[in-house]
A and B are shown apart, each in its own frame.
Chain A
Amino acid sequence: MDGEELTEQETALYDRQIRVWGADAQRRLSKAHVLVYGIKGTIAEFCKNIVLAGVGSLTLVDDRVANEEALSSNFLIPPDENVYRGKTLAELCCDSLIDFNPMVRVSVVKGDLSDFGIDFFNKFDVVVISCCSLAAKKLANDKCRKLSKRVSFYTVDCRDSCGEIFVDLKDYRYSKKKLEETNECQLQYPCFEDAVSVPWKALPRKTSKLYFAMRVIEKFEEAEGRSPGEVSVADLPGVLKLKEELCSAQSVNESHVPDSLLERLVTNTTEFPPVCAIIGGILGQEVIKAISGKGDPLKNFFFFDAMDGKGVMEDISEPNA
């Protein structure tokens, strides 16, 4: 590697994890810059994980002011109105995260995702997006992709007891250790827009139902001009109608997207803390893999549903891409 050694302090603090991923990976982590946009419970979990792991810096963006709902599954915000009044979610989480690991620079940037230019994204190695519209996600993903360097791009969404992670590592090379030998591997990722618009007919029958259900909800929110997560049980008829239309347009059977699953996703849009921990944990692990270049990364979706307890990885790419 670059020959720089870990300090004594780093070796002592990170002892147990260096035993998992090696000193090399730890050095790369300490130079990585991570951007997070939109902070709810799952992202709070993720931030905790990578700050503990010892990334170089973490930049938080979320200008929303704190309210009761924002506190529900976020352990980074003290539930005391005197403390949180007038502060943004990013500021509050930053105050907490700074204490987690003095070796990580945690900071806040204000602004709207769609307004950040390419130069802004160029400062980061990892971008994680949550709580924002379909259009904003596509735009941010496009900007990251236009950069000559690779910016690992992730979106994450948790509703009821379900969670989804999307990963775009563009053109990704990594080393894979198999017994004694190390193999160089390469993966090509589709962009976000392509990954959410793959023809349903082209996907294997066993593809996770959550993939389809999340696309229906996403489309519904976009069509109705809602903020992410701004749906309720009152919207169920509309959501089911949209599902019918989508299924017929995609020429797939309606059983592709179970009504019961859609009902769960629109009825309870607040996060379920155990699922935040699980999705935030998997996401943390994936980001660490991408930074260190060690281990098979997720390609390109991960779904978890506490009802059946399965944590499934799905590769959803254009059939001829």
Chain B
Amino acid sequence: MDLQLSVGAKVLMVGAGGIGCELLKTLALSGFQDIHIIDMDTIEVSNLNRQFLFRQSHVGQSKSKVARDAVLKFRPHVSIKSYHANVKDPEFNVEFFKQFNVVLNGLDNLDARRHVNRLCLAANVPLVESGTTGFLGQVTVHVKGRTECYECQPKPAPKTYPVCTITSTPSKFVHCIVWAKDLLFAKLFGDKNQENDLNIRSSDGASSSENVVDVFERREGEDIDDYGRRIFDHVFGYNIELALSNEETWKNRNKPKPIYSKDVLSDELAQQNGNVVQDSATDDGLSVSAMSSLGMKNPQDIWSLSENSRIFFESLRLFFMKRGKEIGNLSFDKDDQLAVEFVTAAANIRAASFGIPLHSLFEAKGIAGNIVHAVATTNAIIAGLIVIEAIKVLKNDIKSYRMTYCLEHPTRKMLLMPVEPFEPNESCYVCSETPLLLEINTHRSKLKDFVERIVKAKLGMNLPIIMQGSNLLFEAGDDLDEDMIANYEANLEKVLAELPSPVTSGTMLTVEDLLQEFTCNINIKHREEFDEEKEPDGMLLSGWTQPVSASEKEKEDKSINNGANSSDVTVEAVEDETGVVAVGVKKRRISETSEVAANAAADETNHKQYQVIDDEDDLVVLDGNSDAGNKRKRMQ
């Protein structure tokens, strides 16, 4: 093996963030001459601690453009083309991908990774994939037909929590955050038409919630402070009393303590809160802050119950007084200071009620915003490893391809651990085009349900076409004429069995995404009943390895997950959106066998198993997320 760079390689980088900045620098230094880079983001202050190509003065500008300019300063002769765009835009189609010799990903979300994986497969361009979180990181190589594709392995599903844990029996701070963010915040400031479980309680739910008009609505002419106290007393007092009345729930649990506004606010404080604080000169929405109007500075401080209550009232008041126009349309955003303050305070008051330790705004923000830990050093190391793999890929040196894990604690003396790549998974519906099976009630489920819950949510398609044989049932896209749009709209509202070409048991549907050039066949099987709790979609897709759900074992209820991107920053950093996979380690000699049974750590994705053979220079073979029965073959 030699690591001399082949001349004339053309590479595509997707992402100009933490890994991207390091990667663009290392590629340029290593002699790469023709680099294209796509990133849709603009620069933020919290990027500057690691995305070293950016400065304070660049905040708000395009990442890909600024990164290009910065690298040209020390390597002026490299050709770098930057795109301030979403990699999922139609301009980046298969033809676009085909011009490159290798694609290098430095992405931060599953959705875009899946999209790029499919385009690389369709264009037959090798992909080097990467991810980091804190001190952990990994680099993998995906070459069509030779190694597994990015989707051959099930990816950990976003961490979800049963509804009743969130609404009635929280036991961790994250449960309180999810309640404050997805239920209370959404109820008070979000879309009123959205379904919201705020008033559902474990068992007595239905009876009382129907006759309540809407306690969360501010009444005509109601004073803002009266309204705040009414909401406070309802959610932290009345609702807890109501929950306590169900003795069964608390047999084996600590009882929560109802908290009323009069208990936490002295008269003096209540008065103070009633005063309208001097309006600041600039009233641009995102700079309004309850902390600054109450003179609290340090986001690392853990506030007392009384302080949290004051923040609660003040942030609620500020939303109504300063940002009234947005009420009804707000959704939680980690960069919205006032929203973070409200959610922190509400989560802490609830935590106090349930005897859960309180947290600082800084910590609460991390949990609520699914913020991924990130440091410069890991990104630099991972970028170096990506370039080494890219050079091997350009030489077509298949035997020396490696996936490499960057570890926090050494495993068998190694901090950087190379592993041979796996062969493609024969049952992968993405790279092996294996048909899937869908059990669905064809008399009850509409085509719309199928499109939303399966085609988009499960198969990750953006612009789908759905066909039964040669009959088009549905098509997404901008260039459709009005008749067709009307026709498809009508189809979406029909149940499957009543479509113009009926879809019933035994029908095979073909679903295609034109942009991804990815086709998938789905065999339909009619099934009458579905378990509402275990199968909330009312349909069941099988035939490929299901994503391993995160370790939370309670599954008695439908679930709420903490935000759109999967990441749980409080625990198990290895299971987050950066694609870092938890590892069970097992060592095999190269000559011994080509088959590796994924039998390690069958119960715990994070559990490490070592089987150390005292022998030199053999490779470590690594089982990813354990799922019994899914055998992975090592590449030969």
Instruction: Name, among A6, A100, A281, the residue most crowded by chain B CB atoms within 10 Å (CB to CB).
Output: A281
| A300 CB, min distance to chain B CBs, angstroms | 13
Are A161 and B3 CB-contacts (below 8 A) given A16-B50, A282-B381?
yes
| B299 CB, min distance to chain A CBs, angstroms | 6
Convert A264-278 into 0s and 1s, putting 1 for each residue whose CB lies closer than 8 angstroms to a CB of B: 000000001111111
Convert B247-276 into 0s and 1s, putting 1 for each residue whose CB lies closer than 8 angstroms to a CB of A: 000000000000000000000000000000
Cα distance A309–B371 when bound, in Å? 30
Which chain B residues border A309 with CB–CB below 8 Å?
385, 388, 402, 404, 416, 418
Cα distance A284–B49 when bound, in Å? 14
Cα distance A54–B418 when bound, in Å? 31
Which chain A residues border B25 with CB–CB below 8 Å?
75, 277
Convert A49-67 into 0s and 1s, putting 1 for each residue whose CB lies closer than 8 angstroms to a CB of B: 1001110000000000000
Are A277 and B298 CB-contacts (below 8 A) given A16-B373, A17-B374, A48-B52?
no
Q: Does B383 interact with chain A (Cβ within 8 Å)?
A: yes
Is the CB–CB distance between B376 and A6 below 8 Å?
Answer: no
Is the CB–CB distance between B417 and A18 below 8 Å?
Answer: no
Q: Closest residue to B139 on the A side, CB-wise?
A: A309
Is the CB–CB distance between B377 and A282 below 8 Å?
Answer: yes
Q: Does A77 interact with chain B (Cβ within 8 Å)?
A: yes
Q: Does A229 interact with chain B (Cβ within 8 Å)?
A: no
| A269 CB, min distance to chain B CBs, angstroms | 15
| B33 CB, min distance to chain A CBs, angstroms | 14
Which chain A residues border B3 with CB–CB below 8 Å?
161, 272, 306-307
Cα distance A161–B2 when bound, in Å? 10
Which chain B residues border A275 with CB–CB below 8 Å?
384
Interface with B: A134-142, A243-251, A310-318, which one? A310-318
Q: Does B569 interact with chain A (Cβ within 8 Å)?
A: yes
Convert B116-149 into 0s and 1s, putting 1 for each residue whose CB lies closer than 8 angstroms to a CB of A: 0000000000000000001100000000000000
Is the CB–CB distance between A206 and B616 below 8 Å?
Answer: yes
Q: Does A285 interact with chain B (Cβ within 8 Å)?
A: yes
Is the CB–CB distance between B73 and A78 below 8 Å?
Answer: yes
Q: Closest residue to B415 on the A side, CB-wise?
A: A311
Is the CB–CB distance between B417 and A11 below 8 Å?
Answer: no
Q: Closest residue to A295 on the B side, CB-wise?
A: B408
Which chain A residues border B277 with CB–CB below 8 Å?
none
Cα distance A259–B547 when bound, in Å? 48
Are A281 and B380 CB-contacts (below 8 A) given A11-B300, A13-B45, A78-B73?
yes
List residues 379-407 of chain B with CB under 8 A from any CB of chain A. 379-381, 383-385, 387-388, 391, 402, 404, 406
Is the CB–CB distance between A13 and B380 below 8 Å?
Answer: no
Q: Does B413 interact with chain A (Cβ within 8 Å)?
A: yes
Q: Does B282 interact with chain A (Cβ within 8 Å)?
A: no
Instruction: Name, among A99, A274, A310, the residue most crowded by chain B CB atoms within 10 Å (CB to CB).
Output: A274
List residues 29-81 of chain B with CB under 8 A from any CB of chain A. 29-30, 45-46, 48-50, 52, 55-56, 73-76
Q: Does B460 interact with chain A (Cβ within 8 Å)?
A: no
Q: Does B297 interact with chain A (Cβ within 8 Å)?
A: yes
Q: Closest residue to A15 on the B side, CB-wise?
A: B46
| B41 CB, min distance to chain A CBs, angstroms | 15
Q: Does A152 interact with chain B (Cβ within 8 Å)?
A: no
Q: Does A20 interact with chain B (Cβ within 8 Å)?
A: yes
Q: Does A174 interact with chain B (Cβ within 8 Å)?
A: no
CB within 8 A of A77: which of B74, B134, B362, B617?
B74
Which chain B residues border A161 with CB–CB below 8 Å?
3
Convert A1-37 into 0s and 1s, putting 1 for each residue whose CB lies closer than 8 angstroms to a CB of B: 0000110100111111111110100000000000000
Number of residues on chain A facing chain B (CB within 8 A) = 62
Which chain B residues border A41 with CB–CB below 8 Å?
29
Cα distance A54–B377 when bound, in Å? 13
Convert A133-166 into 0s and 1s, putting 1 for each residue whose CB lies closer than 8 angstroms to a CB of B: 0000000000000000000000000000100000
Number of residues on chain B facing chain A (CB within 8 A) = 60
Is the CB–CB distance between A308 and B408 below 8 Å?
Answer: no
| B291 CB, min distance to chain A CBs, angstroms | 11
Cα distance A2–B383 when bound, in Å? 37
Which chain A residues border B48 with CB–CB below 8 Å?
13, 52, 101
Q: Closest residue to A44 on the B side, CB-wise?
A: B29
Convert B1-15 into 0s and 1s, putting 1 for each residue whose CB lies closer than 8 angstroms to a CB of A: 101000000000000
Q: Does B171 interact with chain A (Cβ within 8 Å)?
A: no
Q: Does A45 interact with chain B (Cβ within 8 Å)?
A: yes
Cα distance A48–B50 when bound, in Å? 9
CB within 8 A of A277: which of B22, B74, B373, B617?
B22
| A295 CB, min distance to chain B CBs, angstroms | 7
Is the CB–CB distance between B50 and A280 below 8 Å?
Answer: no
Q: Does B414 interact with chain A (Cβ within 8 Å)?
A: yes
| A160 CB, min distance to chain B CBs, angstroms | 9
Cα distance A14–B373 when bound, in Å? 11
CB within 8 A of B416: which of A15, A19, A49, A310?
A310
Cα distance A285–B377 when bound, in Å? 6
Is the CB–CB distance between A288 and B418 below 8 Å?
Answer: no
Cα distance A17–B49 when bound, in Å? 8
Convert B347-390 into 0s and 1s, putting 1 for each residue whose CB lies closer than 8 angstroms to a CB of A: 00000000000000010001000011111111111011101100
Cα distance A34–B126 when bound, in Å? 42
Q: Closest residue to A306 on the B side, CB-wise?
A: B388
Cα distance A23–B298 when bound, in Å? 12
Is the CB–CB distance between B30 and A273 below 8 Å?
Answer: yes
Is the CB–CB distance between B362 and A11 below 8 Å?
Answer: yes
Convert A96-138 into 0s and 1s, putting 1 for each residue whose CB lies closer than 8 angstroms to a CB of B: 0001111000000000000000000000000000000000000
Is the CB–CB distance between B134 and A20 below 8 Å?
Answer: yes
> Which 7 A-B residue pairs are closest in the complex by CB-CB distance?
A311-B416, A277-B384, A309-B418, A281-B381, A273-B29, A281-B380, A274-B384
13 further A-B pairs in the complex, CB-CB below 8 A; given A20-B373, A312-B414: A15-B49, A15-B362, A21-B375, A48-B376, A75-B25, A76-B74, A206-B616, A272-B30, A273-B29, A273-B387, A277-B25, A313-B414, A314-B413
8 pairs, CB–CB < 8 Å, chain A vs chain B:
A11-B362, A16-B49, A17-B50, A17-B374, A49-B376, A79-B75, A102-B56, A308-B418
Q: Which residues of B contact A (CB under 8 A)?
A: 1, 3, 22, 25-26, 28-30, 45-46, 48-50, 52, 55-56, 73-76, 134-135, 297-300, 362, 366, 371-381, 383-385, 387-388, 391, 402, 404, 406, 408-410, 413-418, 569, 616-617
